[in-house]
């Protein structure tokens, strides 16, 4: 044991004398662990929230019975099934508006509610009585209570004027949901004796066949291991994970270069230890123990950094998930012990993988091995051929995935294969460029410049790969975001047709506002809209009622349309479908779909397809009058107005005064647009932050590589200095060399990044969200990103260059000094 500790102490003494190398190793491990753990923390937080949502009184985690064609069905079926021994519990679901805000209303029957519905919030026996008995209770999450601006115990009115039972906070409940007794829900939603679904509990014995009890009126839906929300948000979390992985690998690049250099420098030490009688096993064990100990320390620091990164990003991530998918994620971070263990595990595993080559070399090293001449030329050629071959294989995989892959995972697979292939081919690409430079070089220094750059390639290639990947991701994601931003703003300009938007608190106020507006001469048109919800082929669908007004024909953007599409809409037997829903249902213009409505099936011809960016739900746009005919419970609280620009402020002030409307209930187009753009920007704030992180880590990788290389480059530079090239000139040449290879790398990163953007737009977005954006290239943005990469490279190269320029001649002389 003592001997092992002594060997470990000898090995550790290396770091005392190479503090910068030690710092590099730790920085690499910390960088690798930090962003990866941060992203995992965010993903875990989101998954917990999805679980909570899914388990809300038997969400998709519970088997259930639903009507195949209609949104609701008679509760007589529930009675029949209970009598036949089926352990079912009824549930009615709908949306209500309170103070102008739409929330989900869930009616449950607590007595028959299955006990085994995941981790659903439970009602205790003592609470049961007050929940069921008049006046009953409305269970609500604390966040929803705050959002509704209500107090516990209050009984707010919904848009129809009916009052909810008193509000009571149930802490485990998911936000944006109100839970009441099913009888109350039937009254509030005006659906007497109707239920949306029947939750199935654990059967005690053998059940009678479903068809023998209710015929074809109900069908069984099995519980999902993955919720709709989880499926929808897959791409978002995959995106975060991809950034985390990228940073992890870049961090490992740093570790690899630091460990590799340390191994080369410690070769004589290892030989001496072996020559002095330390067994190979003991030395190798000590090397592994040393690495694991360092990974443990760095892993803990990385985890702490990861926690802070996650805490900093979580509010924006929560906003993104709310904006994109309607998912409610708490903004406060809570972590499980397995997150800490996984973080430390990934740090240790990463360190071992990054150091594998060096460790294997150490294990195989014979005691009396002598230094072989450094045949860099032959070694480099072999290495380039091997890597290029691997790159071609990876590109082939990308092509196969592109051709045969149908899923979102396949889309990300194409992206990953593209990036890996490009990283592998990078050294060969640079070698060709540098060789061409060498061939055309005039003058000895220029010749040396190119030749030496080629020789440095193997030492710098990992850092340059990191730069390539980080920059390509930046180019790809920035192009996608900019494309999305411009498309979104253009689309918003068309979609926001009205000049003023009003959201009345209930139908009565809606009627009063309309009457009042009709009397005003400054209002050119009143556009009444409405929204209802239903399910089509098992998918939640929003029905959007549009008024028949020329403004919509002029400005509402349609991606595809039948001839005279807007005219077809008026009678009420045609609809426009959102792009994402058309993809999900595989519906084209000219097809017909059946929409379950309270009065039976509503047959709609598809007359057009429109973009509906940012909406997590599928949507059908129909004539508003037809919508109200088919869905009589549709709240008629949404009003749009056409008003001359100069009259807008006066009208809004008058509306607020007359009807006590707050800023959220009445807003002009500019405010709504600004709010939408603010939400959009916040959605992509996370992406920008992760972009900056990865580029930063790539910059650190380049810096550490240059610092480690700088130490080993003295023997190459000293002869040049000895024959009369000054240190500042040498430093300037070295700087130019680094910037040249960084520039070449950046130039390769631009087309790769555009390819990444194309993959994101044409594959990943379509699979994840259901919409496809037009592909645009923004040359100025590309120039800006290349400039940022060059500045990052300049900053990374500056420190080693300043050190070289200021290096004492004594250090350079040491290269030649055999004795003193």
Partner 1 sequence: MLSIRNLSKTFSSAGEPVHVLRGVDLDLKAGERVALTGESGSGKSTLLHLVAGLDAADGGTIRLDDTEVTKLSDAGRAQLRRDRIGLVFQQFNLIPSLSVADNLAFQARIAGRHDAAWSRELIERLGLGSLLKRYPEQLSGGQQQRVAIGRALATRPSLLLADEPTGNLDESTAEDVLALTRDLVIRTGCGFLMVTHSLHLAATLDRQVTLHAGRIA
Which residues of this protein are in contact with partner 1, per CB under 8 A? 373-377, 443-445, 447-448, 451-452, 454-455, 715-716, 718-727, 809-810, 812-813, 815-820
Query: Cβ 737 to partner 1, closest distance in Å?
Result: 11
CB nearer partner 1, residue 671 or residue 736 = 736
* Contact between 395 and 424 (Cβ < 8 Å): no
Total Cβ atoms within 10 A of residue 780: 7
CB nearer partner 1, residue 93 or residue 452 = 452
Query: Cβ 435 to partner 1, closest distance in Å?
Result: 12
For residue 261, give every residue at least 6 positions away whose Cβ sits within 8 Å of its Cβ, in sequence order, or none: 21, 708, 711, 712
Query: Cβ 275 to partner 1, closest distance in Å?
Result: 23
Alpha-carbon 236 to chain mean position: 3
Q: DSSP for 506-571?
A: SHHHHHHHHHHHHT-TTEEEEEEEEEEEEEETTEEEEEEEE---HHHHHHS--SEE-TTHHHHHTT
* Contact between 614 and 488 (Cβ < 8 Å): yes
CB nearer partner 1, residue 444 or residue 550 = 444
Tokens coding 480: 């996608």
Query: Cβ 452 to partner 1, closest distance in Å?
Result: 5
Rg of the chain over Cα atoms, rounded to whole angstroms, equals 33
Query: Cβ 265 to partner 1, closest distance in Å?
Result: 18
CB nearer partner 1, residue 375 or residue 570 = 375
Query: Cβ 744 to partner 1, closest distance in Å?
Result: 17
d(CA 528, CA 514): 9
Query: Cβ 488 to partner 1, closest distance in Å?
Result: 52
CB nearer partner 1, residue 269 or residue 441 = 441
d(CA 603, CA 117): 36
CB nearer partner 1, residue 268 or residue 719 = 719
d(CA 684, CA 484): 10
Q: What angle do CA 374, 376, 379 make, to 5 degrees?
A: 110
Please name the helix (run of DSSP H) or strand (run of DSSP E) that holds residue 697, with its range, or none: helix 685-712
CB nearer partner 1, residue 11 or residue 710 = 710
d(CA 25, CA 351): 9
d(CA 24, CA 27): 5
Q: What is the DSSP letter of 365?
A: -
* Contact between 237 and 40 (Cβ < 8 Å): no
Tokens coding 384: 């380039």
Query: Cβ 733 to partner 1, closest distance in Å?
Result: 12
Among 186, 181, 191, 207, CA closest to 82: 207
Total Cβ atoms within 10 A of residue 224: 15
b/e per residue, 706-735, with b = 16+ CB within 10 A?
bbbbbeebeeebbebbeeeeebeebbebbb
HSE of 586 in the Cβ direction (CA atoms, 13 Å)?
Answer: 1
Query: Cβ 818 to partner 1, closest distance in Å?
Result: 5
CB nearer partner 1, residue 378 or residue 515 = 378
Helices (H), 276-406: 280-325, 337-354, 356-364, 376-404
CB nearer partner 1, residue 382 or residue 645 = 382
CB nearer partner 1, residue 438 or residue 688 = 438
Among 66, 106, 131, CA closest to 189: 106
Query: Cβ 412 to partner 1, closest distance in Å?
Result: 40
Query: Cβ 1 to partner 1, closest distance in Å?
Result: 33
CB nearer partner 1, residue 197 or residue 454 = 454
Query: Cβ 720 to partner 1, closest distance in Å?
Result: 7
Query: Cβ 362 to partner 1, closest distance in Å?
Result: 24
Helix axes 714-722, 727-759, angle to 10 degrees: 140
Query: Cβ 357 to partner 1, closest distance in Å?
Result: 22
CB nearer partner 1, residue 279 or residue 377 = 377
> Phi and psi of 195, rounded to 5°?
-135, 155
Tokens coding 101: 């805000």
Query: Cβ 462 to partner 1, closest distance in Å?
Result: 20
Q: How far are the Cα atoms of 394, 490, 554, 666 from residue 670, in angstroms, in the given order?
A: 49, 14, 19, 12
CB nearer partner 1, residue 289 or residue 725 = 725
CB nearer partner 1, residue 377 or residue 407 = 377
CB nearer partner 1, residue 321 or residue 457 = 457
Total Cβ atoms within 10 A of residue 90: 26
Total Cβ atoms within 10 A of residue 121: 17
Among 279, 227, 291, 206, CA closest to 255: 291
* Contact between 53 and 229 (Cβ < 8 Å): yes
Query: Cβ 378 to partner 1, closest distance in Å?
Result: 9
CB nearer partner 1, residue 514 or residue 803 = 803
């Amino acid at each position: 044991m003592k001997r092992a500790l002594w060997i470990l102490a000898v090995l550790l003494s290396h770091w005392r004398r190479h503090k910068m190398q030690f710092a590099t190793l730790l920085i690499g491990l910390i960088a690798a662990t930090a962003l990866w753990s941060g992203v995992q923390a965010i993903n875990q937080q989101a998954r917990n929230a999805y679980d909570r949502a899914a388990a809300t009184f038997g969400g998709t985690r519970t088997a259930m019975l639903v009507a195949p064609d209609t949104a609701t069905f008679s509760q007589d079926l529930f009675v029949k099934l209970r009598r036949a021994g089926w352990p079912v519990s009824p549930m009615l679901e709908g949306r209500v508006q309170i103070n102008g805000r739409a929330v989900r209303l869930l009616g449950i029957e607590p007595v028959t509610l299955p006990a085994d519905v995941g981790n659903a919030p439970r009602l205790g026996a003592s609470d049961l009585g007050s929940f069921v008995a008049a006046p009953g209770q409305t269970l609500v999450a604390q966040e929803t209570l705050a959002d509704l601006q209500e107090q516990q115990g209050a009984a707010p009115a919904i848009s129809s004027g009916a009052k909810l039972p008193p509000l009571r906070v149930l802490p485990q409940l998911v936000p944006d949901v109100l839970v009441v007794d099913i009888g109350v829900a039937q009254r509030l939603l005006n659906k007497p004796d109707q239920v949306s679904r029947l939750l199935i509990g654990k059967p005690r014995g053998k059940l009678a066949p479903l068809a023998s009890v209710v015929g074809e009126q109900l069908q069984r839906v099995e519980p999902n291991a993955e919720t709709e929300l989880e499926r929808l948000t897959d791409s978002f979390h995959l995106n975060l994970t991809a950034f985390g992985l990228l940073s992890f690998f870049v961090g490992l690049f740093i570790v690899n270069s630091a460990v590799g250099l340390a191994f080369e420098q410690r070769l004589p030490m290892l030989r001496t230890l072996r020559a002095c009688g330390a067994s190979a096993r003991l030395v190798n064990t000590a090397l592994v123990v040393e690495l694991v100990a360092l990974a443990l320390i760095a892993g803990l620091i990385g985890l702490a950094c990861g926690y802070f990164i996650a805490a900093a990003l979580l509010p924006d991530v929560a906003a993104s998930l709310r904006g994109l998918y309607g998912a409610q994620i708490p903004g406060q971070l809570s972590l499980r012990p397995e997150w800490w263990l996984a973080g430390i595990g990934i740090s240790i595993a990463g360190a071992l993988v990054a150091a594998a080559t060096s460790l294997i070399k150490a294990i195989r090293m014979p005691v009396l091995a002598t230094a072989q001449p450094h045949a860099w030329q032959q070694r480099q050629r072999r290495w380039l051929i091997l890597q290029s071959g691997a790159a071609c294989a990876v590109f082939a995989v990308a092509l196969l995935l592109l051709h045969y892959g149908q899923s979102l995972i396949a889309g990300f697979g194409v992206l990953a294969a593209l990036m890996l292939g490009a990283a592998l081919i990078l050294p060969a690409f640079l070698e060709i460029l540098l060789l061409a430079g060498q061939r055309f070089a005039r003058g000895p220094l220029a010749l040396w410049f190119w030749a030496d750059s080629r020789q440095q390639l193997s030492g710098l290639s990992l850092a340059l790969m990191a730069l390539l990947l980080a920059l390509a991701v930046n180019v790809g994601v920035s192009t996608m975001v900019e494309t999305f931003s411009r498309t979104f703003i253009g689309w918003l300009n068309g979609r926001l047709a009205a000049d003023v938007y009003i959201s009345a608190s209930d139908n009565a106020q809606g009627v009063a506002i309309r009457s009042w507006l009709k009397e005003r001469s400054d209002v050119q048109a009143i556009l009444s809209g409405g929204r209802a919800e239903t399910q089509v082929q098992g998918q939640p669908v929003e029905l959007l009622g549009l008024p028949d007004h020329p403004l919509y024909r002029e400005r509402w953007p349609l991606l595809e349309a039948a001839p005279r599409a807007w005219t077809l809409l008026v009678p009420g037997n045609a609809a426009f479908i959102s792009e994402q829903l058309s993809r999900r249902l595989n519906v084209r213009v000219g097809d017909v779909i059946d929409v379950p409505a309270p009065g039976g099936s509503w047959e709609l011809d598809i007359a057009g397809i429109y973009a509906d960016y940012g909406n997590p739900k599928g949507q059908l746009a129909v004539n508003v009058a037809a919508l109200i005919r088919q869905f009589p419970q549709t709240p008629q609280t949404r009003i749009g107005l056409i008003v001359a620009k100069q009259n807008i402020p006066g009208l809004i002030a008058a509306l607020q005064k007359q009807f006590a409307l707050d800023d959220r209930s009445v807003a002009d187009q500019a405010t709504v647009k600004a709010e939408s753009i603010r939400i959009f920007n916040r959605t992509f704030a996370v992406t920008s932050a992760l972009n900056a992180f990865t580029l930063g880590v790539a910059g650190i990788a380049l810096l550490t590589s240059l610092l480690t290389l700088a130490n080993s480059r003295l023997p190459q530079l000293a002869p040049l200095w000895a024959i009369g090239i000054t240190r500042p000139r040498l430093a300037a040449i070295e700087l130019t060399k680094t910037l040249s290879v960084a520039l070449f790398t950046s130039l390769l990163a631009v087309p790769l990044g555009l390819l990444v953007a194309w993959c994101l737009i044409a594959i990943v977005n379509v699979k994840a969200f259901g919409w496809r954006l037009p592909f645009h290239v923004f040359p100025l943005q590309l120039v800006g990103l290349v400039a940022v990469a060059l500045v990052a490279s300049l900053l990374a190269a500056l420190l080693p260059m300043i050190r070289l320029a200021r290096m004492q001649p004594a250090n350079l002389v040491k290269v030649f000094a055999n004795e003193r």
